[in-house]
Amino acid sequence: MQGPYPIFCRGHSGGRLLCEVFIRNGIEMGYHKDERNDTKYFSVKNTIIREIVMNSMHYYSSSNEQKQYFQNLMKQCVDQFIKQQVQRWFSPKRPFGWKMGTTLFTMPVVLDTFPDAKVIHLIRDGRDVMLSRNNSRFKNINDPLNKLVIFGNALTDNYEGHALTPETINTYRNELEMLYWVTAVSYGIKGRKYDDRYLEVKYEDICTDPLQTIQKIFDFLEIPFLKSTQRWIKENAHSNRIGK
């Protein structure tokens, strides 16, 4: 298999559009969850993904032995994904990846585990992301994983001195959505240390200059940009998706 080539982004950052481009261009992205094109296998219901995400803030400073433990988990996870959802249906030479927002916090483990992995870090204007409400995350705010990805700390129990009640969430929702964006993007850009295996892409560039931006992505992945995919993205990327 070629890859993995995952799309990493904070939820509601336009990953659905880019994932559709990947699929149409021959990259196998596994079974999808509804219209968001999320790869269901990599949700936090997967206990391996949950464990890696819950330890993500300490991964970089972990001992080599600890890092190897998480790398072994990731290899097990991806090997099962390939066996269950890729090799059963597609050529073993076909490139593969996945798209699931929370797996942004697995980025360093993925890159350390798979020497041939390349990742796309999709970043959208945080103000637009804030206005595209992530209801599931805030509805279940007391899940330690949700606290971790929003605040950067699974033990957080208040915001501005107020307990994390529905009333607090409602009062500070804009700020909390933006904080979630800052936490995710700040974690994701640590991928810059991986140099030629990490590529940042602005969602706004896909919407305003789709052909050149997607060409850059596929050049990075060393995958031909199919004519049929070019026609599709040209017809489906619109500037009215940005600037809420």
Cis peptide before 224 (omega within 30 of 0): no
Domain assignment present for residue 173? The answer is no
The 10s digit of each residue's pLDDT in 176-217 is 999 999 999 999 999 999 999 999 999 999 999 999 999 999
Q: What is the pLDDT of residue 88?
A: 60
Domain assignment present for residue 140? The answer is no
Domain assignment present for residue 86? The answer is yes
The 10s digit of each residue's pLDDT in 52-73 is 999 999 999 999 999 999 999 9
Number of domains in the chain: 1
Asked whether the predicted pLDDT for residue 33 surpasses 80, the reply is: no
Domain assignment present for residue 164? The answer is no
pTM of the entire predicted model: 0.95
Q: What is the CATH number of the domain that holds 82?
A: 3.40.50.300
Domain assignment present for residue 33? The answer is yes
Asked whether the predicted pLDDT for residue 74 surpasses 90, the reply is: yes
> How far, in Å, CA of 72 to CA of 68, rounded?
6
Q: What are phi and psi of 8, to 5 degrees?
A: -110, 135
Domain assignment present for residue 17? The answer is yes
HSE-CB of 66 using CA atoms within 13 angstroms: 10
Asked whether the predicted pLDDT for residue 146 surpasses 90, the reply is: yes
Which token pair is 89? 């249906």
Mean pLDDT of the chain: 94
Question: Of 36-45, 84-93, 220-229, where does mean pLDDT reach its minimum?
Answer: 84-93
Question: Of 46-55, 80-89, 132-141, 148-157, where does mean pLDDT reach its minimum?
Answer: 80-89
Domain assignment present for residue 163? The answer is no
Q: What are phi and psi of 200, to 5 degrees?
A: -90, 135
Q: What is the pLDDT of residue 161?
A: 96
Domain span at residue 218? 7-131+195-241
Asked whether the predicted pLDDT for residue 35 surpasses 90, the reply is: no
Domain assignment present for residue 79? The answer is yes
Where does the pLDDT of residue 241 fall: very low under 50, low under 70, confident under 90, or very high at 90 and above?
confident
